[in-house]
Chain A
Amino acid sequence: MREEALKRALVWLGAAGTLLFCLGPIVYMVLIALAQSPDFPGPGRGFEPTLKHLAAVALRPSLHFWDYLGNSLIVSAASAGLCLLVAAPAAFALSRLDLPGRLVILFAILAVSMFPPVSLVSLLFKMMTALGWINTYPALVLPYVAWVLPLSLWILASYFGQIPRDLDRAALIDGCSSWQILRRVIVPLAGPGLFSTGLLAFIFAFNEFLLALMLTTDHQARTIPVGAALFQGLHGQTPWGEIMAFACLAVLPAIGLTVAFQRRVIHGLTRGAVRG
């Protein structure tokens, strides 16, 4: 049927287009990182591969790449971990303890996640200054936990909601308290859900920019996004090769995690938006 053939053609075209659109800039980034000179697409230039940009970024301590990466990984992991610790009991309570007003609470927390980060900076800066925490990990981890909590809560509540109530009842009959139910029944079963949520929290914390820009001052606590934004290379004049090399190395964790766990990520994201 002609319509079928047309549809097939369109779908393939769409797939190719999507692939090109999504991966094009990434491929470009990698090529520039490996190219001797960044204007190789231009007329009269060729592509000469070189590893010197990657080597420069990875090996020169004054460029601080590993500091940024380390800071990002530690801050994101701590934020995600703490977020799970805090969100799991709350999600448990909201999804199975029939609390009055729980929908209001859920909505309120979701509303809170919509606040623009720039509105938080003023007091957070003063707070962290007063505590002497500017340019340290706590200055980032604590706000990040609050930042990723709403979405994590929604996702976890959705996952927890999937677990049949009969198990709870069985445990109740066995004489467990609600805390024990959470620990012994829910958490083991919701393992994949916890993982998805933690993964998403990690990625969101990793990619956060505004607070990191305002609350850190140098490589001791700066994260990858800020490092990338302010990266100047060794010589100051826009060294595209090195910038792209930095970018390549910088996106490896995020891309690696996402590709490796894409089902988990997608699952988590859609749960955050779709109920049930």
Chain B
Amino acid sequence: MRAHSARELAGAYVYLLPVLAFVLVFILAPVLGAFRASLFQDVTFLPRKFIGLDNYLRLAETPVFWTSLRFTCLFVLISVPLEIVLGLLVALVLDQPLPFRAALRASVLIPWAVPAAVSGRIWELIYDYNLGLANALLGWLHLGQGPVNWLGSGWGAFFSLVLADAWKTTPFVALILLAGLAAVPDELHRQGEVDGASFVQRFFRLTLPLLRPILVVALLFRTIDALRVFDLIFVLTGGGPGGATTSLSLYGANFFLAGDFGFGSAVSVVLFLLALGLALVYVRAGRFREGLG
């Protein structure tokens, strides 16, 4: 159906108006608002006034900002590949003909369905020093020398977070990759078998290249999500110990919760630009369009 006349075209664009209105008012405007707010000193106990880029300058001078930035980037760099690999493994398992495959798929979906905040409390208990499952397991298996203070050290908390996040997000990756795997035609596999290639060879030479577009998509989604991680950290570590696990989202949000909108907005703008930059990088270098037709 081709909309030829200008009137028909206008009529067609009308269908888009509600969507554009919502996006404009509740997403674009707030982001612009954040840009604007970051140029002001906006603290509850001081008069509001325009200070230009002052917030950003002070941000650059604040060590905690750089710690948060470093943490956020590290979190992305470590958790995303981990989740992709895990997701791929799970997808491979789910792709096989197994009895109870539907039940397996349903169980894989469950971590995805659980709200991150709730899962955070479960993992908070798992990692608890005195009462948690992790230390109990260590005790049963007689590993290490006594209970580990999982959330007590910078790296301990970091990897605890990565694991908890992987638990929650691997299903999403697995399902996307599963769809990609399902799209690989069976004939190719059989051809490979006939040609005498082992499973591993077939995987790396056949399957993986065909999966590439999907992998890029999964990578993009996961990277952006990991960049803006908030829920899990708020509940599990609160940004500690010593601010070691404060993501940029949490750093900014803490300022809002303390009544400093100017500074918090500045942090959120930095995060936004980071996300934007990453998305652009992917879109150009990842041949994104290939994956989405």
Please determine if A and B sit in direct contact within the complex, based on CB atoms under 8 angstroms apart: yes
Q: For A212, give the chain B residue with the smallest CB separation.
A: B117
**Other-chain contact of A38, B2, B110, B125 (Cβ < 8 Å):** B125
Question: Are B26 and A146 in contact (CB-based, < 8 A)?
Answer: yes
Chain B residues touching A, range: 35 or more
Contacts of B37 in A (CB 8 A): 122-123
A118 vs B255: C-alpha distance when bound (angstroms): 11
Indicate if A9 sits at the interface (CB-CB under 8 A). Answer: no
A125 vs B257: C-alpha distance when bound (angstroms): 11
A138 vs B13: C-alpha distance when bound (angstroms): 27
A270 vs B180: C-alpha distance when bound (angstroms): 9
**What per-residue 1/0 map shows which CB atoms of B254-293 lie under 8 Å from chain A?**
0011000100110111011001100100010000000111
Known: A38-B131, A43-B139. A18 touches B90 (CB 8 A): yes
**What per-residue 1/0 map shows which CB atoms of B11-50 lie under 8 Å from chain A?**
1110110110011011111111110010000000000000
In the A-B complex, the 4 residue pairs with the smallest Cβ-Cβ separation, listed nearest first, are A123-B33, A41-B136, A146-B26, A93-B15
In addition to A11-B93, A21-B167, A273-B217, 9 A-B residue pairs with Cβ atoms within 8 Å of each other are: A18-B108, A28-B126, A41-B133, A97-B3, A114-B279, A123-B33, A127-B30, A142-B26, A207-B115
A-B contact pairs, 16 of them (CB 8 A): A26-B114, A41-B136, A86-B18, A94-B16, A116-B228, A118-B271, A121-B34, A165-B1, A209-B117, A214-B256, A225-B115, A228-B118, A228-B235, A258-B106, A273-B217, A273-B218
Question: Which residues of chain B have a CB within 8 Å of any CB of chain A?
Answer: 1-3, 8-9, 11-13, 15-16, 18-19, 22-23, 25-34, 37, 89-90, 92-94, 96, 98, 102, 104-123, 125-126, 128, 130-131, 133, 136-137, 139-140, 167, 171-172, 175-176, 178-180, 183, 198-199, 214, 217-218, 221, 224, 227-228, 230-231, 234-235, 248-249, 252-253, 256-257, 261, 264-265, 267-269, 271-272, 275-276, 279, 283, 291-293
